[in-house]
């Protein structure tokens, strides 16, 4: 049994792969990851930008699409949808055998719509119709305009991966959108699923930079603790909100809890262990979506042991960080803005690159 398999069977955590590229589908590498214990796949515009610009795997289909009269952006979505559908079909057996717990593949809406509720809803509805697979997660950013879109889509019975969560306050809003959406849905709830993607390493990167600028002994000692502490407090919120009479009533209708998903789990600081954000956030009813390099590291030397609620001081650590002069709400607002902007930049750069590729292929 691999360590990825042990994560699920022994600790109840689902390891997902935070990457997707066509060559993995064609060579069987993605199937090998699934055999090793990967239970889901996440994608985003940055991932597709790297996949399409670093290889020529997409050139043949791109040429055909442009020749048939498709625009660059239309061609982009066709390229993406082919990979997503093939990945979904590969994951479908796991989705079926896990009774809809895992086996999902996530596809993000156009990132330029992050601050437009109505446009986000329409885009998500359109993608669900185009893909037409029960194990599809549409990724919706947890911006303020994204929250009502999440609630609306859940009420319509569509499964959602809520992405770019950076604060505990926003996480509470995401949970409320999910619960309210379930309550608004008519009938059985067992086919509706959602995860709430809490971004981890980016929080440490920003907070640690500010702690270093403060430079006090206490501030330096707090470096590397903000993100894990925030994740652990989020887990306590999850346990509290998905219990009690309100949740029990939804469970009677077949509802599944919206599991916390730890995203951005590769370490950015070379002084930290490369499996830090896996090792320290292991617990039942959670997901960790992990880049392939970090997955390989965890398979080699990761530690399979429940750690999500091992430290009861997580809240006090966050309070200490605040006392040192770090405004965590300001940090989360900045990171949300940067996260949306990064995906928009990747999306736009990819369209430019595809246009350049088309010109080169025509010559």
Q: Are 278 and 302 in contact (CB under 8 A)?
A: yes
Q: What is the pLDDT of residue 27?
A: 96
Say what the pLDDT of residue 257 is.
Answer: 98
Query: Which of 81, 94, 180, 93 lies closest to 128 in space, CA to CA?
Result: 81
Which residues are 56's β-sheet partners? none
What structural domains and CATH numbers belong to the chain? 3-358 (3.20.20.70)
Task: Output the pLDDT for position 49.
Answer: 87
Tokens, residue 283: 């617990």
Q: Assign 362 a pLDDT band (cuts: 50, 70, 90).
A: confident
Distance CA(225)–CA(98), nearest Å, equals 34
Mean pLDDT for the stretch of residues 41-63 = 90
Contact (Cβ atoms closer than 8 angstroms) between residue 311 and residue 12 = no
Q: How far apart are CA 182 and CA 249, in angstroms?
A: 11
Question: Is the sign of the CA dihedral 109, 158, 143, 272 positive or negative?
Answer: negative
Say what the pLDDT of residue 311 is: 74
Nearest to 137 by CA among 51, 40, 45: 40
What pLDDT, in 10s, does the model give residues 217-274? 999 999 999 999 999 999 999 999 999 999 999 999 999 999 999 999 999 999 999 9
Task: Write out the catalytic residue numbers.
Answer: 139
The whole-angstrom separation of Cα 42 and Cα 207 is 26
DSSP-assigned letter for residue 17: E
**pLDDT of the residue at 363:** 66
Stretch 114-129: mean pLDDT, rounded?
Answer: 97
| Each residue's pLDDT tens digit, 315-333 | 999 999 999 999 999 999 9
Asked whether the predicted pLDDT for residue 167 surpasses 80, the reply is yes
- Between CA 118 and CA 121 the distance in angstroms is 5
Does position 17 have pLDDT exceeding 70, yes or no?
yes
The confidence band for 153, taking pLDDT boundaries of 50, 70 and 90, is: very high
How crowded is residue 9: how many other Cβ atoms within 10 Å of its Cβ? 12
| Res 180: pLDDT | 98
Whether residue 23 is predicted with pLDDT greater than 80 in this model: the reply is yes
What average pLDDT does range 133-141 have in this prediction?
A: 97
Name the β-bridge partners of 105. 41, 136
Band (pLDDT 50/70/90 cuts) for residue 353 is confident
pLDDT in tens, 56-71: 899 999 999 999 999 9
In angstroms, the CA 85 to CA 92 distance is 10
| Mean pLDDT of the 182-201 span | 96
Q: What are residue 138's DSSP bridge partners?
A: 107, 160
Q: What is the pLDDT of residue 344?
A: 92
7-30 mean pLDDT: 97
């Amino acid at each position: 049994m691999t360590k990825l398999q042990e994560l699920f069977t022994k600790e109840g955590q689902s390891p997902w792969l935070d990457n997707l590229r066509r060559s993995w589908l064609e060579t069987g590498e993605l199937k090998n990851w699934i055999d090793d214990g990967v239970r889901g796949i996440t994608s985003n515009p940055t991932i597709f930008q790297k996949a399409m610009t670093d290889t020529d795997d997409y050139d043949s289909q791109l040429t055909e699409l442009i020749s048939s009269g498709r625009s660059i952006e239309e061609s982009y979505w066709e390229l993406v949808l082919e990979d997503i559908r093939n990945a979904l079909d590969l994951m479908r057996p796991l989705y079926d055998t896990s009774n809809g717990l895992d086996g999902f593949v996530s596809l993000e809406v156009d990132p330029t719509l992050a601050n437009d509720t109505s446009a986000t809803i329409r885009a998500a509805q359109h993608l669900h119709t185009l893909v037409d697979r029960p194990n599809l997660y549409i990724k919706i950013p947890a911006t303020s305009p994204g929250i009502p879109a999440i609630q609306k889509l859940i009420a319509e019975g569509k499964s959602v991966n809520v992405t770019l969560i950076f604060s505990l306050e926003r996480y509470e809003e995401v949970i409320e959108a999910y619960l309210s959406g379930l309550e608004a849905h008519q009938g059985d709830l067992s086919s509706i699923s959602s995860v709430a993607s809490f971004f981890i390493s980016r929080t440490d990167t920003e907070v640690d930079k500010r702690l270093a600028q403060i430079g006090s002994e206490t501030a330096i000692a707090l470096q590397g603790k903000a993100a894990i502490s925030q994740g652990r407090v989020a887990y306590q919120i999850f346990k509290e909100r998905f219990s009690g009479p309100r949740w029990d009533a939804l469970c009677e209708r077949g509802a599944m809890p919206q599991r916390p998903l730890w995203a951005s789990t590769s370490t950015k600081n070379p002084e930290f262990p490369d499996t830090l954000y896996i090792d320290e956030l292991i617990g039942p009813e959670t997901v960790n979506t992990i880049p392939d390099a970090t997955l390989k590291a965890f398979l080699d030397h990761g530690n399979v042991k429940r750690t999500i609620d091992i430290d009861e001081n997580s809240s006090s650590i966050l309070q200490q960080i605040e006392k040192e002069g770090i405004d965590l709400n300001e940090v989360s607002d900045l990171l949300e803005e940067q996260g949306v902007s990064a995906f928009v930049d990747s999306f736009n750069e990819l369209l430019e690159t595809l246009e350049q590729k088309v010109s080169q292929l025509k010559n």
